[in-house]
Each structure stands twice: as C-alpha cells, then as structure tokens.
Amino acid sequence: MDKIKEIISQMTLEEKIGQLWQVPFSSAKIEDIKKLAREGKIGSCILACTPLAGNTDNQELPFADMLNILQKEAAEHSRTKIPLIFGRDVIHGQRTIFPIPLAQGASFCPDLVEDAARRMTDEAAQDSVHWTFAPMLDVARDQRWGRVIEGYGEDACLTSQMGAAAVRGIQHKKKDGHIAAAACGKHYVGYGAVEGGREYEKGEITDYTLRNVYLRPFEAAVKENIMTVMSTFSAIGGEAVIASERLLKNLLKKELGFKGFVISDYDSVEQLITRRIAENKKDCARTAFLSGVDMEMVTDCFSQTLGELVKSGEVEETAVDEAVERILRVKEKVGLFENPYTTPDPKKQYRTEDLKSSLNLAEKSLVLLKNNGILPLKKDEKIAICGPFVNEKRALHGSWAGYGDIGSTPTFKEEMEKTFTNVLYCSEDFNIRMRDPAIVRGCDTVVLALGESNVYSGERACVSDVMLDKTQVELAHNARAFGKKVVAVIFCGRVRSLFELEPYVDAVLWAWQPGSTGAAAAVRALSGAVNPGGKLPATMVKSSGQIPLYYCPDNNPCCISDAYYEEPEFAPYLDFSTMPMYPFGYGLSYTSFKISNAVPRQKSITAKELEEGKTLSVTADIENTGEYDGDEVLQLYVKDMVSSMCRPVRELKAFLRVGLKKGEKKTVELKLDKSSFSYFIPGKGETLEKGKFELMLGNSCMGGLKMNIEIK
C-alpha cells in the first residue's frame, strides 16, 4: 500500500472530512484556526478573508512565521500529522506585479506567460503560498463582465495556450524534485458566458458551445496535469455547476481524466440554499460532494454534515476516501509532507530580475491601435501631458494586485520626465482649455494618460457600458481644439471602446493595467525604445449595444456573420454597424511586415494520419520592410468549408510571435494537428470530418493569405 493510502487507512472519518474543508486565514482568529488544525478539522487555509480579495486593498499579509506556527499545529500536533495547504489568489503577481492576464494574452507569448507564472509562484512561496487560484481559464466575449481582465480573452485557442503556459509556470519542478505550487484552473465551467456580462449570472450555453469553446482551456490544462480546479458560482442552462455530477464527476474527472481535486468557489456550496437547489447545509453537502466537489471553500457544510451523510449511507465513505486521496496527493507533490514549513528568502522578493521580466511582458503586451505617423516621439519634443493617469499608481496594478508595493510604482509622469527633455505637465482636470491653455499652446504634442480604475474591473465590477469615460473623451476633444498632435495612452483592464475618442487623437497606445513597471513600458514605447507588437485578445466594440461581438461567429444563411468583417448588403442592425472598432488579433507596429509564400506542406492529409498524431504544417516568409526592428504575430485561422454543424467563419488554431530586425526576412512554420480540424458534435463526441478547409495566415483575424487543403 503506498504512503498516501496508508495514511488514509489510519484516519478516522472525522479526520478525513477535515481534509475537505478550507477556512479563511485571519490572524485575529489564529487561535481558533490553530485549534481546528490541531484537531484535524481543516485541510487548508485560504490566505484571504474576503470573497472580494481581488478588489480589497491593504489586506493582511500573513507572514511565513505566523503560518509556520499554524502549520505546526497540523503537521506536528494533530493525530494524523497531515500538513495544511495554503492557497491564495496569486493571479498576476504576489509582490512583484505582472501585467493583468488579459494583457498577457495580448502578448501572444506563451513563454513569457509561463515565465511570469513561475516567477510569481517562487515569490509567493516566500509567503507560504503552496497553491494559487490561477490561471483563470474563462473564455469571455462580453467586456461588460468585470472578470474579463483575469482571463486571456475571447478565443479558446489563445486562452488554452496561455492557460497551459501558466500551469507549466506555476507547477514548475523545484531543485528538490517537488512541484513549486499547485495551480487551479478556474472557474469550471462557462463563467465567462454570464448573461448581460452581469456577475454570477447564469450562462445559456449549449453542450455544443460548451465543448467547442468554454471547455477547451480546461482540456488543455488537464493535459498539463493541472492539480486543482475551482468550480464556478454560475449555472449553465439551469444546472448549477457545483451541483452537476454531469459536469464535474463525469465530464471533468471521468471523461477528461482530471486526477487532481475540485475546490468550490467561495461560499458557493452553501449558496445552493440561496439558489433554492438545497434546503439546508446537509442538502448542500450531499449535492456538491456527490457531484464531484472535493474541498469546500470557507462554508462548513461538509464539515458539519458529511459525517451524518456517510453514517446514513447517502454518501459512501469510499467516496470520501477518494476525495481525501486527491487532496493528499497534491500535498505530497508540492512537498508538504517532506517540509511543511517556509523559510522565507527575502532575496526572492521584489527581485530585480522579476521586475525586469514584468517590464518585458508589459512591453510585449502593448497594443498600438492607431498611429498617424506621429509615434515614436522625439526625445526633445515639447510634450504636454495630462489626464487622470498621469500620476496614477494603484490602478496600474489592476485587480488581484496582491501585495504589490503601490508606493514604489513609478508614475507615467515620472517615466515621461525621465525619458523626454521637454515635458510640460498640465493639471489633471478635464478642461485644459480653461486651466492650462498656455502650456498646451507652447507644446508640439499633447499626450493623454487615460484609462480605467482598477475598481471598475475584477470580481463584482461589471459595467453596462464599455465606452471610455466621457470626461476622458472630452479631454481629448479639448486637446484636439488646440490643433496639436494628440496621443492617447490607455491604461485599462477590460477592452473599453475608443469609438468616441478616436476622432480626436492621432495615435493610441493600449497599455492595459501593466503592473509594477507598466508606466515605463508605455513610455519606452512612446520614445521608440520599444516597438509595440501586441495584438488585441478581445474585440473592441464600437458600442455596448453590439455586445456580444466576437470574431468567430458561426456562418449563417444570409452571411450576416461576415458583418464582423465587412458592412453587409443588408445591415443586421438598422441603426448601427456590426463591425468592431478594432478586431481580435489586431495591433500595429512602428515598422511594416510582408507575409508571403504561405503554403501548406501538403495539400491534403488523411483523417487517419491526423488521428495518428501527424501534423499539417504551413510555412511562410515574413519580412520586416520598415524602418524599425519589431515583432509580428502570425495568426493561422481555419475555416471548415462544409460541416455537419454550423462552424465559425474562422477560428484561430495556431499563432507565432516573430521578432525581425529592420530588413530581416525569415521563413516560419506553424503546425496544425487533429484538434485544429475536429470539433465536438453532441451525441457523437469529438469528430474529425473529412472535406475541404480554408486556411488563412495573417496578422489579425481580418484577413491574410488563403490556402485550401483537404482532409481525406
């Protein structure tokens, strides 16, 4: 019998149930928690004491020495001596804050996402974090939803590749052979489809769409051996996910083969009462546990009633054993049995190389949306800077900002004054025509630092209107009135719309909420030290009335789906366009690129070859034809020409960010495999249909070099 099974065989039922409970840590309650640990009544602590940890500043940072004291109660003084596992939302940084995940998606650089995840995990380990509730794998196509910033955008392929990279980074192997920390894929499943972009709403997702879109990133994470998954608050078509044996036990655990454990989201087990799915805690425990939830976050339904349910035979003790085993195996993999304590190494916090890595990723995340040739700016250009983000620090960290040192965060103004020799500072108010006319009249260029406060995105931070704040549009309008060149730098969480702002500016640099060093990234791009190469991971609409608007709708009989790509013969809306402000995958550069000679290595491939794992490659030449070194993101889209079910007008299936020096030319290769062509058909399962496919290689979803291939 192996060690874990040996331990379980020695445990009482109460001790087993204890492992299934995660309680919030608070130093004010440390004595109560120590008692629970000593009595074997808890298996984990979440290092947060509010469900809104993402938007709660100045949270208590439990230091390792205090957590070691708590750990000792479990690891040395409890009867089983099973250590606690400490979990925390280290979403994009613990102390060194990296760009928000949506910005990381814009980089189209999975390697950098993996690097950031590895670094934040190593830093969080100094604060006894053994398990982080990341990556968020929710595909989201409604920017009104506040949590869009925590994911990687509207596309299943991009989200899958970035999510898998984050899992690799978090769950990297340490020198001692143990896994650095457990990752947690969340929120299983379909949370991104909340109706109206309203928090916690249900999502009306068919099985077809669930499988072909929302589930894909979780499939990818399970293939990366993710160790935990968090169930979502939301419901799909009337089925509360946390109460769905179909989705949790059968789909996630059996069909996808997920071997880790499922934790419920904060309070959501007991919320089954408010959902009127359960009458009392016992109902909640029975429903959630039998559906496949292994550990309960914060509420105590399992702790209070699972024992009775086992004694009454409603829950098999063997099922409890299985849940305990899943949890103990994770504790074992992260090395808690060998060493449950943390000896913090200050040299691993706020590391210079981590800050440099954060700056690099922030730079790669920058998206140049417009440039009438005025960027980059000259070092001695007379620049008037103004706007609400000139002196902003906190919002640069975004939601889930961890314990970022806001005070030491350089502001946009500081970085501008370090970089340019003639920076004139206007007041932050919104009427520069009244307050600072002389400054603006005396300058060559006005640079507006605009954006969105961190409190306007993240959990329970949804908006009904994604247009950029009207006062900021007015500021741009005022600036334009002086007849100067106007640049807008946008520090935003979600992809807000610039439809009203765009006419007043000559250039737009989208800088996201870029983390500890984000202002520097934006300023380095304005100066030309960095050539922006990021691409939009989500569509920018022209109006909130267009939502949901995304690049890969299914074809429809009147080709209205093409209305994303061109104003159709008859408009799907009588009163407005259906084209985006800026499309998925779009982003400019200071240089120009030529993509040519895109050819598939073979014009056809058999279904059998694809089933056997053979890939179909596309090669192409890409040349930097401009005046700056720069990056381009090659995007390979697939279109099924004839299929049994309605398929998207195109779908991203492979991408590659390529760096090219001025004048340089490279030949690159992108690979497609079976999953690039197959799709899930309800009642038939994952299906690869023979027939013709159109491939499109471009630098956004809007177009590119087309190739025809056939699966025989």
**Site residues (vs ligand GLC, CB under 6 A):** 46, 48, 51, 53, 89, 133, 186, 265-266, 459
Strand, helix or coil at 140? coil
CB of 87 vs ligand GLC, minimal distance in Å: 8
Tokens of 516: 């500890």
Work out the angle between the directed axes of helices 110-125 and 352-365 (0-180°, nearest 10). Answer: 150
Nearest Cα to Cα of residue 691 among 624, 625, 607: 607
Nearest Cα to Cα of residue 525 among 498, 487, 468, 485: 487
DSSP letter string over 51-108? TTGGG--S-----HHHHHHHHHHHHTTSSS-PPPEEEE--SSBSSSBPPPHHHHHHHT
CB of 186 vs ligand GLC, minimal distance in Å: 5
Q: Which is closer to ligand GLC, CB of 228 or CB of 342?
A: 228
Q: Could you list the beta-strand ranges (E) of 430-480.
A: 445-451
Q: Which is closer to ligand GLC, CB of 188 or CB of 637?
A: 188
CA–CA separation, 258 and 169 (whole Å) = 19
Q: Cα–Cα distances in Å, from 211 out to 234, 639, 644?
A: 17, 18, 16
Residues 6+ apart with CB under 8 A from 326: 259, 260, 261, 294
Q: Which is closer to ligand GLC, CB of 17 or CB of 46?
A: 46
Q: Identity (one letter) of the amino acid at 322?
A: E
Nearest Cα to Cα of residue 202 among 190, 217, 210, 212: 190
Q: What is the dihedral of CA 188, 192, 193, 197, to 10 degrees?
A: 140
Q: Which is closer to ligand GLC, CB of 230 or CB of 490?
A: 230
CB of 287 vs ligand GLC, minimal distance in Å: 19
CB of 471 vs ligand GLC, minimal distance in Å: 31
CB of 298 vs ligand GLC, minimal distance in Å: 8
CB of 403 vs ligand GLC, minimal distance in Å: 14
Element (H, E) at 396: helix 394-397
Q: Cα–Cα distances in Å, from 84 out to 7, 25, 207?
A: 15, 12, 37
CA–CA separation, 87 and 90 (whole Å) = 9
CB of 426 vs ligand GLC, minimal distance in Å: 39
Q: Which is closer to ligand GLC, CB of 153 or CB of 376?
A: 153
Q: Which is closer to ligand GLC, CB of 133 or CB of 302?
A: 133
DSSP secondary structure code for residue 610 in this structure: H
Residues 6+ apart with CB under 8 A from 60: 26, 27, 49
CB of 229 vs ligand GLC, minimal distance in Å: 12
CB of 90 vs ligand GLC, minimal distance in Å: 10
CB of 576 vs ligand GLC, minimal distance in Å: 34
CB of 194 vs ligand GLC, minimal distance in Å: 12
CA–CA separation, 394 and 480 (whole Å) = 28
Q: How many CB atoms lie within 10 A of CB 32?
A: 11
Q: Which is closer to ligand GLC, CB of 18 or CB of 185?
A: 185
Work out the angle between the directed axes of helices 281-291 and 317-333 (0-180°, nearest 10). Answer: 70
What radius of gyration, in Å, describes the C-alpha atoms of the chain? 26
Would you say 114 and 183 are in contact if contact means Cβ atoms under 8 Å apart? no
Tokens of 651: 């779908």
Strand, helix or coil at 654? strand
Residue 93 β-bridge partners: 97
CB of 252 vs ligand GLC, minimal distance in Å: 17
Residue 212 sits at φ, ψ, to 5 deg, of -85, -10
CB of 331 vs ligand GLC, minimal distance in Å: 19
CB of 149 vs ligand GLC, minimal distance in Å: 12
Q: What angle do CA 127, 513, 358 make, to 5 degrees?
A: 55
Residue 549 sits at φ, ψ, to 5 deg, of -135, 115
For CA atoms 633, 211, 561, 469, give the dihedral sign.
negative
| Distance, first Cα to last Cα, the chain | 50
